[in-house]
Amino acid sequence: GGFNRIPVGAGPFRVDEHVFGERLELSAARDTYYDPSVPCVDRLTHYNIPEDNTLIAALETGQVDIIYDFPTQFYGRLEKSNDIIVNTTPDVGFQMLAFNMRGDREEKRGYSSAAWDDINVVYALGRAINRDTYIERTFQGRAVAAYGAIPPGEKFYFRDLSGSSLRAFDPDSARALMAEAGLSDGFEVKVMATTGTKVPLEVLGALVKEEINVILIPDLVEASVYQPRRAAGEWDAFMGGSGGDPDPDDAIDDWFADGAKFNTYGYNDEIVNRLNLKQKAAVDINDRLGFILELSAQMDKTFHGVFTHHPMQRTAYKNDIKGYVWIHALRQLGAVWIDR
């Protein structure tokens, strides 16, 4: 719509021109912004550079001054540069492998039972994943192992659950659980993911195949296809998650409460639902923390999915860029200035 292309707001910059898919031209709005000393630059141009090598080269050659969320394989190259600063900060999101437990699964997918209906099989999948290995191979170590939905960016509420999780790495136990379920030879499952998640899915697939012979068959689609298919339940498993959870309501209430807007996998646990209502209503943050920890432990018992990692935000910029502060989901460039 028109607002998405040329939005009107009260921020430090105004939109001068938006060439859709190519660039966004902004100019300082010092005459309307509440603090006339901000912004510190007169103009900003945001370029859409979809090709990875072109993006990196644009920063290195000075065609652009700052880039976001660059592919993790470029960490080493950028960090070796004398005139580039790489900023990495714990993000407020989670990624997971979720299984279809919807009430309309038979109608949509044509089967009434599946291997992952057995929660012990889901435990086995979690125990088959060495998350440290997964993160090193996929993100060059720049991520945080996940055993629940609360991300490290929510500093007060985040806890390392690796010592208590029923899905922590334990390959011998994983194989035993698969044998008890009559699945010693493993099984296959088709996993829907966006094309940008190809490498993480391949690495994850290699790990679970090696330990318990579960075959993750990639079903890679564009984001424009992924979202409506996920909402409609036209998948067996999906790889994905949240990227914007500054508060536990975003990580829990939006994703794991019964009927939540992103709960497209049919998860419904009465204890989780009740604890979610309590954490939402809690006034004291320590009481809220208690409800969230209890809720996380219950999800660990009953959720038919496996949390893999919490991402890290990635920003790289020329060393003469000053005043940059990362704020999740915002490019806070009002205070940025160039010492050039």
Q: What is the mean pLDDT of each run of 10 residues along the chain (340 residues)?
A: 66 89 91 87 93 95 93 90 92 95 97 98 99 96 96 93 98 99 98 93 98 99 94 98 86 95 97 98 98 98 98 93 80 86
At 214, which amino acid appears?
V
Please say whether the beta carbons of 134 and 167 come within 8 A.
no
- Is 137 in contact with 309 (CB distance < 8 Å)? no
Please give the pLDDT value at position 3.
59
Q: Give me the pLDDT at residue 5, please.
A: 65
CA dist list (Å): 174 to 67, 161, 182, 296, 332: 41, 18, 13, 21, 45
Domains of the chain (ranges; CATH) run 2-89+313-338 (3.40.190.10), 94-116+136-158+184-312 (3.10.105.10)
The pLDDT value given to residue 169: 99
> What per-residue confidence (pLDDT) applies to 2?
63
CB 144 within 8 A of CB 93: no
H-run or E-run covering 94: strand 94-99
Q: What is the pLDDT of residue 6?
A: 66
pLDDT of residue 173: 99
